[in-house]
Amino acid sequence: MPFGAFTALHLLLIALLFSGVLLPAGGRKRSGLRRSTVRLDDSSIYLWPLPKQYSHGSQTLTVDPDIALEARGPGGSSAIVSEAFDRYKNLVFKQQAGYAGGDHDIAKLIVVVASENDTLQLGVNESYTLYIRGASDGGRLSIVSEVSIEANTIYGALRGLETLSQLCIYNYDTKTIEVHKAPWFIQDEPRFSYRGLLLDTSRHFLPVNIIKQVIESMSYAKLNVLHWHIIDEESFPLEVPTYPNLWEGSYTKWERYTVEDAYEIVDFAKRRGIHIMAEIDVPGHAESWGVGYPALWPSRNCTETLDVTKNFSFEVISGILTDMRKIFPFELFHLGGDEVHGDCWLSTPHVKEWLNQHNMTTNDAYQYFVLRAQDIAIAHNWTPVNWEETFNSFGEKLNPHTVVHNWLGPGVCPKVVAKGLRCIASNQGVWYLDHLDIPWEDFYTSEPLEGINVTSQQELVLGGEVCMWGETTDTSDVQQTIWPRAAAAAERLWSSIEATSAGGLNDTVLHRLQYFRGLLNHRGVPAAPVTNRYARQPPIGPGSCFSQ
Ligand SMILES: *[C@@H]1O[C@H](CO)[C@@H](O)[C@H](O)[C@H]1NC(C)=O
Ligand SMILES: *[C@@H]1O[C@H](CO)[C@@H](O)[C@H](O)[C@H]1NC(C)=O
Ligand SMILES: *[C@@H]1O[C@H](CO)[C@@H](O)[C@H](O)[C@H]1NC(C)=O
Ligand SMILES: *[C@@H]1O[C@H](CO)[C@@H](O)[C@H](O)[C@H]1NC(C)=O
Ligand SMILES: *[C@@H]1O[C@H](CO)[C@@H](O)[C@H](O)[C@H]1NC(C)=O
Ligand SMILES: *[C@@H]1O[C@H](CO)[C@@H](O)[C@H](O)[C@H]1NC(C)=O
Ligand SMILES: *[C@@H]1O[C@H](CO)[C@@H](O)[C@H](O)[C@H]1NC(C)=O
């Protein structure tokens, strides 16, 4: 063998060996990925969503694992506050017990709540002020360190507790919880009063515990409305005492919510400052209703859309709303109204005849149905929310209190508020979580007030909502499909426009989101990597979770 050929072959073999390609099975194969630089550093602020205003110093304070709550003001003694304090204490000190004892800087948290009124209504004041005063001489004297949260309502106090918990960082060298960059002065309140997440329990059933886990994780990102899309054409999982056959439309008898389950979800959410907005989608998307009551189907040929000709359809809606009113105290109720296919009505002889008698087109009948359902909801002291097709088809006929829920595309809320109606933004191109190819950046940069520059019209935009439709999601992957992308929208909805738009999408935001994703993971939420090509995919190679 000529020398030249020998070396060429061997150089190739050596190169392959070093690249790992020829390593024997069982050997540790190095991945082709370079270890990415972890850019988390002590100089950055790792809060998500960013508070409205904050200032800080450079002191480090330690926190006593036995930190005590001192409740002040009429609302401070609310059980909602003390339970939340205990929850956060467990979260912060969960894995690392640390050492208790007298020489910690922070041994007490003062929570001052001005109002004892725990009514959770849209626009409830969620503002808070968080002070972390350091020891003035730089020493470690618990007497001079003071931490306090001041809020108008207990719900503001909950938001302050979340922020404080994010400032509590474990030091692996000293095995203590520390607050860095003290003293802190944070004044915070949300930009929008409606910061929602839709959860669909019809396409796949989600057990109560999973719904609770989603609610708990929403509170970490300061989201405040769970839009519970309970029922759809595929299944009717909820118990309705007035019409007890309705939940025969559930997939199985083990995929159902009792009335007690629903009460429990509402109560669990309230204790985290989260509203539950229930939805029954009418008149379309309603096939599952007819499993228990076939008279709701126009015919065996036409089962997707409720029968517009029968009073029974409206009696059932009224019965459901009567039962639900006891369970869901939130003032908004979603009546759906999307994707109504009138052809099925037209091809059903008795409906066609009724339409002729009433001189109605299918679109007239759609309008008639939606408006009659709105009247029922209003009679139950609810504010109706409807998907945007209702506005697009007969916007001027909608009840003036209607909240229009955008989803089809951009530019809808500007038209809605120009007509004086309120709007929730959920443009599917940027805020549908089931669209796995939408990256976090698109969630982050989607601005609900885009195209609306009159202040009085801007005020009609309640906020926005990310939607977790359930066709291809169930308990096995719902949380990693929601997080971290829902958090990107959560900051858009909570933080000031200056914080979310002025600096643009730079690495600071990415690293802060990666840190928040790590925080979710540490708290037991299986949030997926931030920089995935597709949502909820596992990481593509080894590396720090804080840089993926
Ligand atoms: C609590 O606040 C709500 C909303 O502002 C109000 O309707 C209700 O009357 C208040 N309750 C009490 C006991 O003051
Ligand atoms: C909440 O209370 C704070 C402090 O009193 C006030 O500045 C703010 O305007 C209130 N926000 C709302 C939405 O009422
Ligand atoms: C259907 O309901 C309407 C409105 O409540 C009522 O006027 C009408 O008499 C009812 N029709 C029947 C057949 O019950
Ligand atoms: C069902 O559909 C067939 C074919 O379109 C039609 O002939 C028939 O009248 C329909 N039946 C009912 C009850 O609507
Ligand atoms: C039927 O409705 C059309 C359009 O709304 C209207 O022009 C027409 O006069 C109506 N006919 C009757 C008989 O009411
Ligand atoms: C809103 O701003 C756009 C672009 O900045 C402008 O073209 C439009 O005239 C403004 N509309 C109103 C109602 O001021
Ligand atoms: C990124 O933007 C934020 C404001 O959103 C700003 O405070 C920060 O300095 C910017 N960082 C870089 C590296 O440009």
Domain assignment present for residue 543? The answer is no
Q: Are 182 and 217 in contact (CB under 8 A)?
A: no
454 lines ligand 6 (CB under 6 A): yes
CB atoms within 10 A of CB 8: 11
- The alpha carbon of residue 96 and the mean position of all alpha carbons in its chain are separated, in whole angstroms, by 28
Domain assignment present for residue 483? The answer is yes
Same structural domain for residues 325 and 450? yes
The pLDDT value recorded for residue 359 is: 97
Per the rule left: phi > 0, alpha: psi between -120 and 50, beta: everything else, 73 is: left
Q: What are phi and psi of 491, to 5 degrees?
A: -70, -40
499 lines ligand 7 (CB under 6 A): yes
What percent of the chain shows pLDDT beyond 70? Answer: 89
The pLDDT value recorded for residue 24 is: 34
Same structural domain for residues 137 and 79? yes
Over the stretch 128-157, which tens digit does the pLDDT of each residue have?
999 998 766 455 544 557 899 999 999 999
CB atoms within 10 A of CB 428: 16
Question: What six digits make up the tokens of 506?
Answer: 């730079």
The pLDDT value recorded for residue 33 is: 41
Ligand 3 centroid to Cα of residue 314, in Å, is 10
Question: What six digits make up the tokens of 463?
Answer: 């906020």
Ligand 2: residues within 6 Å at CB? 123, 125, 127, 152, 189
Which of 70, 260, 315, 339 is an active site residue?
339
What is the number of the ligand closest to the CA of 152?
Answer: 2
Q: Are 146 and 104 in contact (CB under 8 A)?
A: no
Name beta bridge partners: 527.
none
Ligand 6 centroid to Cα of residue 459, in Å, is 16
Q: Are 318 and 376 in contact (CB under 8 A)?
A: yes
Q: What are phi and psi of 84, to 5 degrees?
A: -65, -40
Question: What six digits make up the tokens of 407?
Answer: 């989803």
What residues make up the domain containing 234? 194-500
Closest CA to ligand 1's atom 12: 117
Q: Are 297 and 290 in contact (CB under 8 A)?
A: yes
Ligand 1 centroid to Cα of residue 118, in Å, is 8
Residues 458-471 have a mean pLDDT of 98
Q: 297, 299, 305: which to mutate for ligand 4, most atoms within 8 A of CB?
A: 299
Residues 438-466 have a mean pLDDT of 97
475 lines ligand 7 (CB under 6 A): no
Domain assignment present for residue 25? The answer is no
Same structural domain for residues 181 and 300? no
Domain assignment present for residue 32? The answer is no
How many domains is the chain partitioned into structurally? 2
Domain assignment present for residue 317? The answer is yes
Closest CA to ligand 6's atom 9: 453
Same structural domain for residues 368 and 258? yes
Domain assignment present for residue 67? The answer is yes
Residues 26-36 have a mean pLDDT of 39
The pairing of strands 53-72 and 461-468 is unpaired
Return the ligand 6 atom nearest residue 453 CA.
1
Over the stretch 294-303, which tens digit does the pLDDT of each residue have?
999 999 989 9
Q: Are 200 and 469 in contact (CB under 8 A)?
A: yes
Question: Which CATH number belongs to the domain containing residue 91 in this structure?
Answer: 3.30.379.10
Residues 507-536 have a mean pLDDT of 94
Residue 260 is a catalytic residue? no
The pLDDT value recorded for residue 40 is: 59
pLDDT category, 220, cuts 50, 70, 90?
very high
Domain assignment present for residue 227? The answer is yes
Ligand 5 centroid to Cα of residue 4, in Å, is 95
121 lines ligand 1 (CB under 6 A): yes
44 lines ligand 7 (CB under 6 A): no
> Quick check: pTM over 0.85?
yes
Question: Which CATH number belongs to the domain containing residue 456 in this structure?
Answer: 3.20.20.80
Residues 79-94 have a mean pLDDT of 95
C-alpha span between 443 and 48 (Å, rounded): 15
Q: What are phi and psi of 299, to 5 degrees?
A: -165, 175
Residues in the chain: 548
Same structural domain for residues 84 and 209? no
Same structural domain for residues 273 and 183? no
What is the number of the ligand closest to the CA of 372?
Answer: 3
Same structural domain for residues 172 and 201? no
How wide is the angle at C-alpha 324 spanned by C-alphas 321 and 328, nearest 5°? Answer: 125
The pLDDT value recorded for residue 238 is: 98
Same structural domain for residues 203 and 308? yes
Domain assignment present for residue 165? The answer is yes
Q: 299, 300, 301: which to mutate for ligand 4, most atoms within 8 A of CB?
A: 301
Same structural domain for residues 76 and 224? no
Return the ligand 2 atom nearest residue 127 CA.
1
Same structural domain for residues 114 and 224? no
The pLDDT value recorded for residue 12 is: 41
